[in-house]
Amino acid sequence: MLMTIDVGNTNIEIGVFDSDNLVGTWRMVTKTRRTSDEFGVFMITLLNARGIDPQSIKDAIISSVVPNIMYSLVNSIKKYLDIDPMIIEPGIKTGISIQTENPKSVGADRICDLVGAYFIYGGPAIVIDFGTATTYDFITEKGVFNAGVTSPGIQISADALWSKAAQLPNIEIEKPKSILAKNTITSMQAGLVYGYIGQVEYIVRKMKEETGCFNAKVIATGGLAKIIFSETNSIDIMDPVLSLKGIKMIYDRNKQVKI
């Protein structure tokens, strides 16, 4: 079995593949102040709780946008699973062509999303990842990534509201029954959710206009994708484990090199 790990700014997502079948997924909060023992015990506990023998994990691969976490995380896998994990970093084979102004600055998370989207759903495509930041990435029919948009994530926007305005509370992100809000909490929820729906629809429309790819599939992923997906026709597909699938594909493409 293969363990795939996607380290984001807010959460760490872990998946275990048995051949091409994703047999287990877990999420944990990203904290930079964890020891390798804490990571290791946590992973072993999760595997055992799902009935997966830790000794059945034969390899691992990590995608990370949080450098400070990597020393402890990598060493936990070495210590508790006896595996030297593959790291997704510049130079690794992905199967797509990155043609931005500075390809090395593109986050591993975006690359994994694009790989998963392109090889599962085809191109042209716009991949939206509703994470800590919300990213909109365009990949061509030939697998070329050359343009993207980055905006504050929904949670960042919500946090900014209540932390910067003394009389606004911390709220749960959900769509109210009506945009015509009658109290503070629902007015904030309306602004966040309806505003974000408008953002998604406008950015997707402009990206299609400027690329000329009006038939581009729009694929959404990320923890908050489901809030927006059900409220707009601008998104065609929601795949909550797209990044893990992309990480697995990158592993398959590089495993012979690693050996």
* Average pLDDT score over residue span 156-160: 88
Taking domain 2-87, whether its CATH number is 3.30.1490.20 is answered by: no
Q: What is the pLDDT of residue 207?
A: 97
Which pLDDT value is given to residue 173? 86
Write out pLDDT tens, residues 184-203.
Answer: 899 989 999 999 999 999 99
- Residues with catalytic roles: 109
Please, which residues bridge with residue 7 across strands? 12, 64
**What is the rounded average pLDDT of the residues 16-38?**
91
Give the domain ranges of the chain.
2-87, 97-246
Residue 232 backbone class (left: φ over 0; alpha: ψ -120 to 50; beta: rest): beta
Q: Give the dihedral sign, CA 147/111/29/50.
A: positive
Q: What is the pLDDT of residues 76-132, one digit of tens each?
A: 999 999 999 999 998 899 999 999 888 888 989 999 999 999 999 999 999 999 988
pLDDT digits (tens, 9 = 90+) for 141-152: 999 999 999 999
- Which CATH number applies to 97-246? 3.30.420.40
Q: How much is the average pLDDT of 245-257?
A: 90
The pLDDT, as a whole number, for residue 33 is 84
The β-bridge partners of 75 are none
Q: Does 259 have pLDDT greater than 50? A: no
Task: Answer whether 2-87 and 97-246 agree in fold.
Answer: yes
* CA distance linking residue 206 with residue 222, whole number of Å: 22
| CA pair distance 17, 244, nearest whole angstrom | 9
